[in-house]
Chains A and B, each alone.
Chain A
Amino acid sequence: MAYDSWEKHISGCGLSAYMDESGKRSTGDDIIQSIALLHDRSNGLGGGFAAYGIYPEFADKYALQLFYDNNTVQSACEELIHRNFDIVESGPIPTRKVFGIGPSPVIWRYFVSPKESALDMSDLSEEDFVVQHVMEINRTVKGAFVFSSGKNMGAFKAVGFPEDVGDFYRLDEYKAYMWVAHGRFPTNTPGWWGGAHPFTILDWAIVHNGEISSYGINKRYVEMYGYHCTMMTDTEVMAYLFDLLLRKHDLPVEAACAVLAPPFWELINHMPEAEKALYTTIRSVYGSAMANGPFAIVLGSRDMMLALNDRVKLRPLVAARKGDVIYVSSEESGIREICPNPESVWMPKTGEPVIARLKGEPS
C-alpha cells in the first residue's frame, strides 16, 4: 500500500489498578479477583497486567519481554539483542496451562543493560537507546514483538479473559507494589497477543478503555518526534504521548494531563490571568497531543500511578483510598471486591487526574 496504513483496532474495555504508596508489595491474587468481577466488560479477546517491583534482584536491568512466532525468529532476534545489549539472564516466562488460553507464542524474558560501546556510538541517552531498539525490533523483525521493556516491572498479556491471563502467567507468584489490569472488548478479532493491553515503553505501562477520535493527528504528532506506531491502537499512541510529554519535555504530570484532557475555553476564560495564560498556551502549543473522544486510562510508571478521564467523561472511572493504597477501576464493584470498606470513594472529574506516588521503598 503506497499510502500510510492507518487502519486501527477499536475496542471497549474494563480496567482496574491499585498502588500501595508505602511500597508494600502484594501478590497478583487481588488484582485478578478485581478484574475477574468486571468479566462482562471484556469478551475474551485480550487481557493483560502490569506489575511494578516484581524483579528486585534485577532492579537496575531492563527486563525485555518478547513474543516470538517461532524459534527461528527467536534466534534471529536474539542476535540483534546480543549486538546491542549485555544479557545478564534470560529464559522463558513461567506459565501454567489454563483452559481458555489458546496456543501461545514463544514467550521469553531477558534482563539486559545496553552495551557500553553500542550506547557510546549511538549518541543517545540510555533510555532513548532502549526505546530505539525496542521500536526497531517491533518494526523490522517480523514475528518478534517486545511487549515490555522497563526496569523492575513487567507486562503480561494474552488473548483470553484477564482472569485466565493472570492465572496463565502465574501472577499469584509475583509480588508488586502496583498492579494494573485490563480486560479487552475489541470489535474485531486480530487474535494477536501483542494487541492486548497494557502497552508499554520503558517503565511506562498504559491500559485504556475507549476510542481516541483524535488518533489520526496524535499519531502524526508523535511520529514527528521519532516514534513509530506499530500496533495500530489508540493506546499505543497514548503511551508515546506520555513518554514525550513527561520524559522528553519534562512536563509536570498535571501539565501533561492538561495537554491530554485540557479544560474547555469557557472555563479557561474565567481563570485568573496567570492560569489563563498557562492553559491557553498549553492548548495552542500542544493541540495535536490532545486526546479527544472517550477514554479512561491508567498509566503506571516506576514511582507513580496515574488515572485520567476524557474531557466529557464518556468512560467510567472510579477511585478509592484505604490507608496507603489508592484504587481505580471502571466500576466501584471492582474496588469493593478487594477492598470492601474504603475510607473514601470518588468519581474523578473530567480531566482531573488521580495520582498515586510511591513514597516508601518497595518492600
Chain B
Amino acid sequence: MRFSYALPEFLVERDLERCIRCKVCVRQCAFEAHCYDEETDTVSVDSSKCVGCLRCVTMCPTSALIVRQNPTSFKENASWTGRAIKDIFKQAETGGVLLTGMGNDRPYPIYWDHILLNASQVTNPSIDPLREPMELKTYLGSKPDRLDIKKENGKLTLKTRLAPQLELRMPVMFSALSYGAISLNASKALASAAKEFGTYCNTGEGGLHRDLFQYADRTIVQCASGRFGVYRDYLQAGAAIEIKIGQGAKPGIGGHLPGEKVSEEVSKTRMIPVGTDALSPAPHHDIYSIEDLRQLIYALKEATRYEKPVSVKIAAVHNAAAIASGMVRAGADIIALDGLRGSTGAAPTRIRNNVGIPIELAIASVDRRLREEGIRQRASLVAAGGFRNSADVVKAIALGADAVYIGTSALVAMGCHVCQICYTGKCNWGIATQDPYLEKRLNPEIAKERLLNLLRAWEHEIKEMLGGMGINAIESLRGNRLHLRGVGLSDTDLDILGILPAGR
C-alpha cells in the first residue's frame, strides 16, 4: 500500500497470552488487518487497515483482541482537528471526493434528546397495555376530508370509496435499502421480517430480485432517477410505489453504487452491466418542476390502475414545507421526508455532513404547513433519518408524522456496527457487501428473527409510552404536540417544533 500521512484511526491490540493463533481474525477481516506468518507461527496486525467494525473482536474465541481509538493525536487545535487534517491528507494523496457511508456523524443538535413526553397522573388514568387493548394499527394513503355515510334501513352504509391504503401493524417501516448496497441475504431478512410482522420494506433503487417477489405485497418499490430495475412487473408487484427525488444523506445528488458491488445478480436486478458504477442522475430527467412530478405520479398510477398509493420521497431541505405542499397538490398519497441524519451506502462526505435539515424540524414544519393549507388529510407523512429507538418514534408521531422509516436501526439489529465503510463493499458483517464469502456470514433466518425481535420490542415500548399518556390508539397521539415539552431549546426552536417548554 502507498505510504500515507494519515495515522491509523484505530489501534488493534492483541493479548499474546490469550491468542491461540486460530486465525479466526485473519479470516474474518476483509480489510486484511490481521496477518498470519506460518514460518514464525505468529499473528500480526496492521492497525492502519482497521475500519473499527469490531468483527474480529466479536469473533475471537479467547477475547484476545481490543480495538480502540488511536491515542496518538495531532497537536491540539480547535480549528485544525485530527479529522480535518486527515481529510486533507487523504485528498492530497488521492485527488478525489471523500466518500463515506451511513448517516451524518457530526454533532448537530439531536432534537429528540431535547423533547420529553407526558404521562397521566390522577385526573386521567394511565392505561396498562398488558391488561387493556392498545392500538398501533396505522393506515397510510390519501384520505378524504369527509365520508359519505347514510343510514339505510337502520344500518349505516358507506358511500365513499377510499383511495388505496397501506395497513401497518405499527407505524414503523424499513427504509429504502437497495439490493446492491446491501446483500441479498440482508434484503431477504428485511423483506421476510416486514411480511411476517405486518409492516413494509422498501426496495430503494435496487430493483426487486426474483427471490424477493414473494414478499412484494409487503414491499414498497422505488422509482428513482436512475430507473434501475424499474419495469412493469416490478411496479405491479409492489404494495406501493415511491418516487425517490432525494435522500437525507445526500440531498441534491443521485444514488451511488460503486462498481465493486455490481455483481452478476445485482446486474440482472438493476438491469445494468456487471462491474459498472450505478450512478443515478442528480434530478429525474423527466422532472424539472412540480408539474412534471404530477405527470410521473399519474403515469405510475395509470400503470398500476390506481390500485396502489404513490409516495414521493424528498430529502428534508430548507423549504421542505412548501415543496411538500406542492407534492400533495401534485397527487402524492404519501410524503416521505428523509432528514439530515438519514443514512446511505455511499455518499460524498461533504454533502452528507453539510446538506439538509434535521428531521424533527422538517416534520413539524411540513405537518403545520399542510394543516394551515387544509390539505393534511390528503397525504400521509412518513419520516426517516436517524430513528434510534422507540421514544424517537413516539416523538415523531406526536410531532405529526403518520409513520417512520428505520434504516440504520434495522441494519444494526442485523449486526451492523456503524463503521461507515459500506461503500467499499467489504462489510465484514455480510450486510453491505456482494462478496459471496462475506455475504454468507449473514444468515437471513437469524437476521429476520433479530429484526422481528426489534420490532416487537419497540411495539411493546410504544404501547407503554402511549398507555402512560392515557391514550389507547396511536391516532390520538399523531400530531398531538400537547404531549411533548422541550428542554434546553431556544424560543425559535420551540416555535418551529410547535411545542411548549418543560414546566409550562
**B-contacting residues of A (Cβ < 8 Å)?**
2-4, 6-8, 10-12, 187, 210-211, 213-217, 219-221, 223-225, 248-249, 251-252, 254-255, 258, 262, 264-266, 274, 277-278, 280-288, 290, 292-294, 311-312, 314
Which of A252, A281, A311 makes the CB contact (< 8 A) with B160?
A281
Question: Across the interface, do B147 and A211 meet the contact criterion of CB distance under 8 Å?
Answer: no
Q: Which of B124, B139, B374, B377 contacts A293 (CB 8 A)?
A: B124
B481 nearest CB across to chain A (Å): 6
* Chain B residues positioned under 8 Å from A278 (CB to CB): 149, 156-158
Question: Of the candidates B146, B147, B504, which one forms a contact with A7 in the assembled complex, judged by CB atoms under 8 Å apart?
Answer: B504
Q: Are A224 and B471 in contact (CB-based, < 8 A)?
A: no
Interface size of B in residues (CB-CB distance below 8 Å): 52
A251 to B475 alpha-carbon distance, docked (Å): 20
Q: Are B482 and A281 in contact (CB under 8 A)?
A: no
Measured CB to CB, the nearest residue on chain A to B373 is A224
Q: How far is the CB of A216 from the nearest CB of chain B, in Å?
A: 3
Any A CB within 8 A of the CB of B264? no
14 A-B pairs with C-beta separation under 8 A: A2-B495, A7-B500, A214-B471, A217-B477, A219-B482, A220-B481, A225-B145, A249-B146, A251-B147, A252-B150, A255-B156, A280-B139, A287-B475, A287-B478
Q: How far is the CB of B487 from chain A (nearest CB, A)?
A: 15
Q: Can you name the residue of chain A whose Cβ is closest to the Cβ of B499?
A: A3
Asked whether any CB of chain A lies closer than 8 Å to the CB of B132, the reply is yes
Which single residue of chain B is at the shortest CB-CB distance from A226? B374
- Is A281's CB under 8 angstroms from B158's CB? yes
Taking the complex as formed, is B376 at the interface, i.e. its CB lies under 8 A from any CB of chain A? yes
Q: B472 and A292: CB pair below 8 A?
A: yes
Any A CB within 8 A of the CB of B469: yes
- Closest CB of chain A to B459's CB: distance in Å? 14
B147 lies within 8 A of A281 (CB): yes
**Which of A10, A11, A216, A264 is close to B479, meaning CB atoms less than 8 Å apart?**
A216
Partner of B124, one of A252, A284, A288, A294: A294
Known contacts A220-B479, A284-B139, A294 near B125 by CB under 8 Å: yes
Among A210, A217, A282, point to the contact of B147 (Cβ < 8 A). A282
Contact A211 B124 (CB under 8 A): yes
Residue numbers in B under 8 Å from A284 (CB-CB): 139, 143, 162, 165
In the complex, the answer to whether A3 meets B494 with C-beta atoms within 8 Å is yes
Q: Bits for B157-193, please: 1 = Cβ < 8 Å to A, else 0.
A: 1101010010000000000000000000000000000
In the complex, the answer to whether A249 meets B475 with C-beta atoms within 8 Å is no
Report which of B147, B471, B492 forms a contact with A249, defined as CB distance below 8 A. B147
Chain B residues with CB under 8 Å of chain A are 120, 122-125, 127, 132-133, 135, 137, 139, 143-147, 149-151, 156-158, 160, 162, 165, 371, 374, 376-377, 398, 469-473, 475-483, 491-492, 494-495, 498-500, 504
* From A215, A277, A285, contact of B144 by CB (8 A): A285
- Tell me if B132 and A312 are in contact (CB < 8 A): yes
Q: Does the CB pair B472–A251 fall under 8 Å?
A: no
| Among B158, B470, B504, contact of A277 (Cβ-Cβ < 8 Å) | B158
Would A213 and B470 count as touching, CB distance under 8 A? yes
Smallest Cβ-Cβ distance to A219: which chain B residue: B482
Contact A2 B482 (CB under 8 A): no
Do A251 and B149 touch across chains, with their CB atoms under 8 A apart? yes
Is B478 touching A217 in the complex (CB atoms < 8 A)?
yes
Q: Cβ of A6 and Cβ of B478 under 8 Å apart? A: no
Given known A217-B476, A223-B371, A287-B475, contact A6–B470 (CB-CB < 8 A): no
CA–CA, A67 to B504, complex, Å? 29
**B498 and A3 contact, CB distance less than 8 A:** yes
Bound form: Cα–Cα A258–B492 in Å: 39
Q: Is the CB of B471 within 8 A of A12?
A: no
Q: How far is A216 from B498 in the complex, measured between Cα atoms in Å?
A: 11
A280 to chain B, nearest CB (A): 8
Chain B residues near A210: list those with CB within 8 A. Answer: 124
Residues of B within 8 A of A262 (CB): 473
Q: Are B500 and A293 in contact (CB under 8 A)?
A: no
Query: Which residues of the partner chain B approach A288 to less than 8 Å between Cβ atoms?
Result: 475, 478-479
Q: Which of A10, A214, A277 has the most CB of B within 10 A?
A: A214
Partner of A216, one of B132, B147, B482: B482
With a cutoff of 8 Å between Cβ atoms, the chain A residues found around residue B160 in the complex are 281
**B149 and A216: CB pair below 8 A?**
no
Nearest A-chain residue to B127, judged by Cβ: A312
A217-B480, A282-B149 given; 15 more Cβ-contact pairs under 8 Å:
A3-B500, A10-B123, A11-B123, A214-B471, A217-B477, A219-B482, A220-B479, A224-B377, A251-B146, A255-B147, A264-B133, A266-B133, A281-B158, A281-B162, A285-B143
